[in-house]
Amino acid sequence: MAWSPFRPDVMQDPANGYGELLEACPVHRCDAFDPPFYTLSRYADVAAALRDIETFSSQYGQGPRFTPPMGMLCDPPQHTFYRGLVQRSFTPRMIENLRPRVADLAAELIAQLAAQGEGDLHDEFAFPLPVVIIAELLGVPTEDLEQFKHWSDVQVAAMGARDPSVYAAEQAAFMDYMRNQLRARRADASRGITPANDLMTALATHRDNDAFLPEEQVLSVVNQLLVGGNETTTSLITNAVWRLLQEPERWQRLVADPDLVDQVVEESLRFDPPVLGLYRNTTRDVTLADQTIPAGSKVLLHYAAANRDPDVFSDPDCFDIDRPKRRHLAFGLGVHFCLGAAMARLEAEVALRSLAAHLPQLALIDDGERIGPFFLWGRRRLPVRCH
Ligand code: HEM
């Protein structure tokens, strides 16, 4: 059967299809989705498309459906403006300053897991860690955290769903909540109340030519931080732990030498990228490998397949933490390169170091199961034993 992201063996493990794409079908048309889309898989083609933003535009969204230009999900100059606004809160120093809080939270979650003796590494560790950190950064009140975590989950589930209307009511409730947060901050600012030092306040009260930014645009940026940052970082942590525990001697190498953690994180990003690929919209006809992609098409840039391209990575299907550093595409490339890459790396590094230090006997109970959306890769559950 021809490759499709929905083929059962590819849904179970997308790596089952990389060889076919790379060798036989570097430009693939998928008619099993509405709208149909093309897939590029070779490293050189994916990287070239990421650099050519005039031909491979983000103006109609980076997801599988056509959406209006919102927040950072578009082309320059709007993209440059909103990205610049958020980037101020993601400087290397600000990210590094998060380290002690991430370490404390990781230690707290690990202590709970250890006390239970076993548990779900996804639900009880890898999921709460990034959500709590981003919620604190945004300034979401602590009492709303559980609800916020739930909404974060809903956003991800809706993204790849064949029928996203199932999630519409919950998504609307989340947007109402964030809108109220934003309006409260604007009201405080107008009354001269000293602004809180959080990202939501910075975005809500930013003025351009003396006017606040359009509400829907600010909400889209906040949403992108959530959707782009939470499940992805959760998946990075669960994917890395899962791969290490599949061969316990790998886990024991990290336990014995925690400074391997950076190599583990980078190889995990290459081998099991949490975002398998994202979309662009062609602004003109493009001919590649003797095939023409018409203007106005959705094109999936398959980062995960590109990360297994033998022209760039030797023995690409081997998970090898000793691999010499090469630039993988797990965070994309070019103007849309992941804004949260440093934050994700820091959280994953702290998470893995803490687990290796406090739970050296960690073991898999079973492989759990894959999360839903076809262009994301992570575990929905990862049952582990601690001792
Ligand atoms: C392992 C974790 C993560 C992965 C694998 C990941 C992956 C990606 C990828 C592939 C892109 C490029 C989008 C494109 O090419 O269209 C991207 C963009 C982005 N990511 Fe991440 N991300 C992660 C974590 C985060 C975190 C923690 C945040 C923030 C809290 C974040 C925020 C963003 C934003 C705002 C963009 C859009 C940047 C732009 O369009 O200019 N990401 N991410």
Per-residue pLDDT reduced to its tens digit, 100-138: 999 999 999 999 999 999 999 999 999 999 999 999 999
Q: What is the pLDDT of residue 255?
A: 98
For ligand 1, atom 24, the nearest C-alpha belongs to 229
How remote is the CA of residue 38 from the centroid of ligand 1, in Å? Answer: 22
Q: Average pLDDT for residues 154-164, to the nearest whole number?
A: 76
Q: What is the pLDDT of residue 111?
A: 98
Q: What is the pLDDT of residue 1?
A: 63
pLDDT value at 351 more than 80: yes
**For the chain, what are the domain ranges?**
19-385
How remote is the CA of residue 330 from the centroid of ligand 1, in Å? Answer: 9
* Residues in contact with ligand 1 (CB, 6 Å cut-off): 62, 72, 83, 134, 224-225, 228-229, 232-233, 236, 273-275, 278, 330-332, 336, 338-340, 343-344
Per-residue pLDDT reduced to its tens digit, 241-298: 999 999 999 999 999 999 999 999 999 999 999 999 999 999 999 999 999 999 999 9
CATH 3.40.50.1260 fits 19-385, yes or no: no
For ligand 1, atom 30, the nearest C-alpha belongs to 229
Q: What is the pLDDT of residue 235?
A: 96
How remote is the CA of residue 338 from the centroid of ligand 1, in Å? Answer: 4
Query: What is the number of the ligand 1 atom nearest to the C-alpha of 343?
Result: 27
Q: Average pLDDT for residues 6-22, to the nearest whole number?
A: 94
pLDDT bracket for residue 200 (50, 70, 90): very high
Q: What is the pLDDT of residue 43?
A: 98
For ligand 1, atom 20, the nearest C-alpha belongs to 338
Mutate to test the pocket of ligand 1, among 57, 224, 338, 346 (most ligand atoms within 8 A of CB): 338
Q: What is the pLDDT of residue 25?
A: 93
pLDDT value at 98 more than 90: yes
For ligand 1, atom 10, the nearest C-alpha belongs to 331
Mutate to test the pocket of ligand 1, among 80, 238, 339 (most ligand atoms within 8 A of CB): 339
Q: Average pLDDT for residues 136-160, to the nearest whole number?
A: 83
For ligand 1, atom 9, the nearest C-alpha belongs to 331
Per-residue pLDDT reduced to its tens digit, 285-316: 999 999 999 999 999 999 999 999 999 999 99
What is the three-state SS of the chain?
A: CCCCCCCHHHHHCHHHHHHHHHHHCCEEEECCCCCCEEEECCHHHHHHHHHCCCCEECCCCCCCCCCCCECCECCCCHHHHHHHHHHCCCCHHHHHCCHHHHHHHHHHHHHHHHHHCEEEHHHHHHCHHHHHHHHHHHCCCHHHHHHHHHHHHHHHHHHHCCCHHHHHHHHHHHHHHHHHHHHHHHHHHHCCCCCCCCHHHHHHHCEECCEECCHHHHHHHHHHHHHHHHHHHHHHHHHHHHHHHHCHHHHHHHHHCHHHHHHHHHHHHHHCCCECCEEEEECCCEEECCEEECCCCEEEECHHHHCCCCCCCCCCCCCCCCCCCCCCCCCCCHHHCCCCHHHHHHHHHHHHHHHHHHCCCCEECCCCEECCCCCECCEEECEEECC
pTM of this structure: 0.95
Q: What percent of the chain is predicted at pLDDT more than 70? A: 99
Q: What is the pLDDT of residue 385?
A: 98
